[in-house]
C-alpha cells in the first residue's frame, strides 16, 4: 500500500486542509513531531483542542507502538466500536488483528459470578490467552478495563508493548488514567474524563501511518 491516508484526491485534500487548520489554531506545544501527528489526529477526530493539554506519552510510546505495528502485534480492545472503526486494509498490511472479548458468553458469566464487569473479565481473558504480552492494549470506553490492565501489568507481570488509555466517563475514568501514567510500560493517555473509542481509533491509525512513514 503506497498511501495509507485517504485514498481519493478530494479526501486527501480535505484531510490535509483539516490538519493545516489544526496546526495553525493549536499554536505552540511541547510534543515532538511524531507525538504531534498522534495528538492532531485526535483533535481531528473530536474537533476538541483541549486534547493538546490532555495527551501524555511515555518516552518510548511512539517507538514501541510503531515496532508493535510493524511486527503485526495483536491489538486487544475493550469494545467492538474500536475494532469497527479501524481500517481493515491498514491492519492487514501489517498482519495486525484485533481481539475483543466483552460479548463472549464466558466473559458475561464470569462478570456475573464475580460481581465485576464484562470489561474486567474481557481483559483477564486476553491475559489468560497470552494476547496481552507484546500487544497494543487499546481502552477507549471502559475505565474498569484500564484499571484491570494496570493490575495485570503490576501484579501479574504482563507486558503489553503499548497501553492506549483513553476511556471516557465520570466514574473512575480520570483515576484509571492517572494509574496508567505510573506504568513502567509504554503508554499513551488522555488525562481527565474525556476520551472514547474514536480517540483510541485515531491513535492507532496515527501509529499505522507513522509505521509506514518509517519504512520510506
In Å, the largest CA–CA distance within the chain is 53
Question: Is-catalytic flag, 205?
Answer: no
* Residue 29 and residue 39 in contact, taking contact as beta carbons nearer than 8 Å: yes
Q: How far apart are CA 208 and CA 136, in angstroms?
A: 12
Alpha helices, H only, the chain? 9-26, 33-46, 51-54, 61-70, 80-85, 88-94, 105-114, 118-128, 143-156, 173-180, 197-215
Asked whether 187 and 61 are in contact (CB, 8 A), the reply is yes
Cα within 13 Å of Cα(107), Cβ side: 21
> In this structure, are strands 162-165 and 75-77 parallel, antiparallel, or unpaired?
unpaired
| Catalytic residue of the set 29, 44, 58, 205 | 44
The answer for residues whose C-beta is within 8 angstroms of residue 114's C-beta and 6 or more apart is: 120, 121
C-beta atoms surrounding 55 within 10 Å: 22
- Residues acting as catalytic residues: 44
Amino acid at each position: 500500500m503506497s498511501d495509507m491516508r485517504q485514498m481519493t484526491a478530494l479526501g486527501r485534500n480535505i484531510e490535509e486542509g483539516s490538519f493545516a487548520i489544526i496546526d495553525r489554531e493549536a499554536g505552540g506545544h511541547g510534543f515532538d513531531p511524531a507525538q504531534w501527528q498522534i495528538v492532531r489526529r485526535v483533535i481531528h477526530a473530536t474537533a476538541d483542542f483541549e486534547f493538546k493539554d490532555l495527551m501524555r506519552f511515555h518516552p518510548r510510546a511512539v517507538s514501541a507502538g510503531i515496532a508493535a505495528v510493524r511486527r503485526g502485534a495483536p491489538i486487544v480492545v475493550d469494545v467492538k466500536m474500536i475494532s469497527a472503526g479501524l481500517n481493515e486494509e491498514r491492519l492487514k498490511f501489517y498482519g495486525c488483528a484485533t481481539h475483543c472479548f466483552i460479548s463472549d458468553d464466558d466473559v458475561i458469566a464470569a462478570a456475573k459470578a464475580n460481581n465485576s464487569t464484562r470489561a474486567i473479565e474481557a481483559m483477564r481473558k486476553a491475559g489468560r490467552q497470552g494476547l496481552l504480552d507484546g500487544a497494543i492494549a487499546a481502552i477507549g470506553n471502559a475505565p474498569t478495563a484500564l484499571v484491570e490492565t494496570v493490575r495485570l501489568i503490576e501484579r501479574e507481570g504482563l507486558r503489553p508493548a503499548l497501553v492506549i488509555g483513553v476511556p471516557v466517563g465520570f466514574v473512575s475514568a480520570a483515576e484509571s488514567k492517572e494509574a496508567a501514567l505510573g506504568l513502567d510500560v509504554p503508554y499513551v493517555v488522555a488525562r481527565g474524563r474525556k476520551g472514547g473509542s474514536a480517540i483510541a481509533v485515531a491513535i492507532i491509525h496515527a501509529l499505522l501511518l507513522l509505521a509506514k512513514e518509517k519504512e520510506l
